[in-house]
Amino acid sequence: MTSDRLAITVEHGIAEVALARPEKLNAMDAEMFAALSDAGTRLAETEGLRAVILYGQGNGFCAGIDTALLMSFAGRIDELRAEIVSPPPGRAANRFQHPCTVWADLPVPVIVALHGPVFGAGLQLALGADIRLAAPEARLSIMEAKWGLIPDMGLTKLLPGLMRADQALELMLTARVIDATEAASLGLVTRLVNEPLTEARALARAIAARNPEAARGAKELVRQCWPGGDAGLALEARLQAAIIGSANQIEAVMAEMQKRPPRFT
């Protein structure tokens, strides 16, 4: 389970998955998407696994999608639209959703340690975890509106059980960056801790010391009974396929890159 984009260890039933692109604030490029999807799939098949920890190396968890990847979409919009609405056979999530939703589908509890920026795709990845521990200085944002897009990496499956619809919509519409204290009050963060990775490791050890069937059962109970499921993933994909590459979405990107007000039609 090796990748240039992730550092993965498994010891004593606890897996640690570190986003390993610190020079880019762990921004997600195509290789990162593929590595996360593959890592989650492989860990689901790992015998004796009790808990998983996700975290980011360097100065932040994840600054969102790599802008170079976003720019690369411009030359293949029709192909991208078809890909967005066509998940692999037997899977509800497409290749952009699966790297975030695979952690929710893992049978064991997943803990994410958050610090620095947790933006866009990075926030949706964090939502895939079962427990989110955040440093007080962490900053979070559903940032896709900044690029004229909607969040489409599993948010409909992962967010509804955590916060109110009106609060979620306000964050989606504004791309507002919030601090960890507000994030906790909204339900985006489980709790604030001064050393999230240290606390995540202690929590993982505590979980690993419990009956593994009970831990898996508790996760399944929450995931099955709280709101949020696979049904919304196709809607995410269909809406995004219509938006991405449109004149107004391209204008949103150009205005952001050129640091000017957008001129929408």
DSSP per-residue codes, the chain: ---SSEEEEEETTEEEEEE--GGGTT-B-HHHHHHHHHHHHHHHT-TT--EEEEEESTT-SB--B-HHHHHHGGGGHHHHHHHHT-PPTT-SS-TTTHHHHHHHHSSS-EEEEE-SEEETHHHHHHHTSSEEEE-TT-EEE--GGGGT----SSHHHHSTTTS-HHHHHHHHHH---EEHHHHHHHTSSSEE-SSHHHHHHHHHHHHHTS-HHHHHHHHHHHHHHSS--THHHHHHHHHHHHHTTSHHHHHHHHHHHHTS-----
Question: Does residue 203 belong to any structural domain of this protein?
Answer: no
The pLDDT value recorded for residue 143 is: 97
pLDDT over threshold 60, residue 199: yes
Nearest of 21, 60, 44, 70 to residue 128 by alpha carbon: 44
Task: Please indicate, yes or no, if residue 263 is contained in any of the structural domains.
Answer: no
Question: How many distinct structural domains can be found in the chain?
Answer: 1
| Residue 2: per-residue pLDDT | 59
Tell me, what CATH number does 245's domain have? 3.90.226.10
Per-residue pLDDT, averaged over 45-73, amounts to 96
Segment 137-161 mean pLDDT:
96
For residue 165, pLDDT beyond 70: yes
- Whether the pLDDT of residue 60 is over 90: the answer is yes
**For residue 233, is it within any domain?**
yes
The mean predicted confidence, pLDDT, of the chain is 95
Mean pLDDT over 132-136 rounds to 98
> Would you say residue 107 lies in a domain?
yes
The single-letter code of the amino acid at 104 is: A
Distances (CA, A) of 138 to 22, 58, 61, 107: 16, 13, 9, 28
- Convert the pLDDT of each residue in 207-234 to its tens digit: 999 999 999 999 999 988 888 888 899 9
Counting residues of the chain whose pLDDT is more than 70, the rounded percentage is 99
pLDDT value, residue 3? 79
| 218 in any annotated domain | yes
Please report whether residue 241 resides in a domain.
yes
**Mean pLDDT of the region 144-171:** 96
Q: Is 70 exceeded by the pLDDT of residue 161? A: yes
- The answer to whether residue 55 sits within a structural domain is yes
Residue 156 has pLDDT above 70, yes or no: yes
With a pLDDT cut of 90, the percent of the chain lying above it is 93
Residue 232 lies in a domain: yes
Does 1 score more than 60 pLDDT? no
Q: Could you tell me the residue range of the domain that residue 241 belongs to?
A: 6-195+209-258
Per-residue pLDDT for 174 more than 90? Answer: yes
